[in-house]
Amino acid sequence: MPDMLPTTWDLIRSGLLSTPKITGRRGIRRWLLTAGILFVLIPMGWFHRFCLALDHLLFPSFKAIEPKKPLFIIGPPRSGTTYLHRLIEKNPQFTTFYFWELLLAPAICQKRFWLGLHACDSRIGHPGLRCLRFIEQHCFSSMDDIHATSLMDAEEDYFGLLPLHACFLLIVAFPDCEKLWKLPQFDQWESSEDRDTVMNFYRGLLQRHLHVRGHERTLVSKNPSFCGMLASLHDHFPTARFAIPIRTPEETIPSLLSSMRGGPELLGYPAATLEPLLKEMMHHYYQHIGNQLTLLGEQAAVVPYRDLVGKPHIALTSLANQLGYDAAALTAGMEPAPSTPAKKYRSGHRYTLEQFGLNHSTLRSEYSWLYDDSRMGLQVSCESGVTTSAISDSSLAPGVQSSC
């Protein structure tokens, strides 16, 4: 078993047994909630692995599928990756993972089952789908301002790595698991065996998806948590293209810290204990992107956040031209007027720099190399000491409306 990947025992020990090193004392409420998560996570992981193995017997042809010019949307969290993903996935030439298949059906046999069930539900008027929508509306609507989520929406396919415990989001439930905090440094893992284990598993997920959705289509994947995996993805998918949204750290860091508060509060430990580690992670992500852009060369295109939300049609056209996709097809159905989509894409997620002990000048100094890198497209934002209007609002006003 690879040494770097968290095992089931690592999660049990860090979540229930050992003394927490990061988050402090573990109360009974947190212990019970963590045990409940493990009670679901472990059996589901075993079942998914069984179904994935069954695919080799029932659908062996999936192993011959080679993803053609897959598009990986990878940028620091809260940089507009979700917005870009949902603009692109609307095009029928592309295909992407939906949340339901990541959580319930990573295997082909599981996808066939749920798609068949959905077809039966459609024939009788969608009672199952209406029930699902009702549950989502009443249970998850509170998350819409941060990251609107539905089982029927396109989502980050790192959720498919849950059977390997290689999904970074697990740090919310298991913040004291040291191996989970090493996932952002994936490309720096010393053992190539560890990296290959994850990459081969991930390749299998993409092949299975294309087997069901159409191997002639282009797969688009959006994962901010893959910032630390750029080199590995390039090695294992040599024809891949990379779209990299970039937003200023003054916006992304407080937005991320704010969005991560709900989980720890629910689980009964202070969210502030994670903040130093998350700040360190973000610094690594920005640096790693800068370091890998030379390796990726013409296979990567940086998409400045202000262009993405201010001029989405133009930004998408430029992205397609840089990466060798059909620009007309990619922007089909979009309004050419740049202002209309930008006005629609707003969030009620509010935060300030001061909430997290941050200030504008310190971040500018700490990330000066980022603004000096012409490839990032942030130079215009630095004129007169001001970045985007959102940054100005977050620095000078009590709150800022985020578009993440």
**What pLDDT does 195 receive?**
95
Lowest mean pLDDT among 180-189, 206-215, 226-235, 328-337: 328-337
Average pLDDT over the chain, rounded to whole?
A: 85
Tell me which of 25 and 80 has the higher pLDDT. 80
User: Strand 94-95 to strand 241-246: parallel, antiparallel, or no bridges (unpaired)?
Assistant: unpaired
Task: Provide, rounded to the nearest whole percent, the portion of the chain with pLDDT above 70.
Answer: 85
**What pLDDT does 326 receive?**
86
**What pLDDT does 356 receive?**
83
Q: Which CATH code for domain 8-396? A: 3.40.50.300
DSSP letters for 30-58 = HHHHHHHHHHHHHHHHHHHHHHHHHHHHH
Tell me which of 144 and 269 has the higher pLDDT. 269
Residue 72 three-state SS: strand
**What pLDDT does 328 receive?**
81
**What pLDDT does 148 receive?**
56
**What pLDDT does 380 receive?**
52
Please tell me whether the overall predicted TM-score, pTM, comes out greater than 0.95 for this model.
Answer: no
Give the mean pLDDT of 194-203: 96
CB-count exposure of residue 238 (10 Å: 0-12, 13-18, 19+) = exposed
Give the mean pLDDT of 198-206: 97
Which tens digit of pLDDT belongs to each residue from 314-371? 999 999 999 999 888 777 766 665 444 444 445 555 677 888 888 888 888 899 999 9
**What pLDDT does 349 receive?**
58
Lowest mean pLDDT among 205-214, 292-301, 338-347: 338-347
Which tens digit of pLDDT belongs to each residue from 308-322? 998 899 999 999 999
Cα 180 from Cα 160, distance rounded (Å): 16
Residue 274 pLDDT > 60: yes
Backbone phi and psi for residue 167, each to the nearest 5 degrees, phi listed first: -95, 120
- Token pair of 190, please? 């010393």
Lowest mean pLDDT among 209-218, 296-305, 364-373: 364-373
**What pLDDT does 403 receive?**
39
DSSP letters for 119-161 = HHHHHTT-HHHHHHHHHHHHHSGGGHHHH---TTSB--GGGGG
* Span between the terminal Cα atoms of the chain, in Å: 37
For the chain, domain boundaries: 8-396
Residue 241 pLDDT > 80: yes
Cα 165 from Cα 303, distance rounded (Å): 30
Residue 147 pLDDT > 60: no
Q: Strand (E) positions, 290-341?
A: 300-304
**What pLDDT does 124 receive?**
86
Dihedral sign (CA 126, 344, 150, 29):
negative
Note whether 401 and 347 are within 8 A (CB): yes
Look at residues 172, 182, 133, 127 and name the one whose alpha carbon lies nearest to residue 153. 133
Residue 382 pLDDT > 90: no
Note whether 221 and 102 are within 8 A (CB): no
